[in-house]
Amino acid sequence: MFTTLEGDWDEVMDVVKRATEAVGRHGHRVSLVLKADIRPGRDGELTGKVERVEAALTNG
């Protein structure tokens, strides 16, 4: 399973840290895999992707 985050680097890393700490309270080990797609000057890609797919489905 994956969770996608989009935002400022420090903001995203804070979410990753807090999520890892929250999971760690319930077990002995936390496994974490990060993948970054860094695209300077681009934002709103999560909603943009959905909009592009919906447009493609509508326009067939």
SS3 of the chain: CCCCCCCCHHHHHHHHHHHHHHHHCCCCCCCCCCCCCCCCCCCCHHHHHHHHHHHHHHHC
Confidence at residue 45, expressed as pLDDT on a 0 to 100 scale: 84
Confidence at residue 2, expressed as pLDDT on a 0 to 100 scale: 84
Spans of all domains in the chain: 9-59
* 1-57 pLDDT tens trace: 788 899 999 999 999 999 999 999 999 999 999 999 888 888 888 888 899 999 999
Are 39 and 45 spatial neighbours (Cβ–Cβ below 8 Å)? yes
Confidence at residue 58, expressed as pLDDT on a 0 to 100 scale: 93
Confidence at residue 32, expressed as pLDDT on a 0 to 100 scale: 93
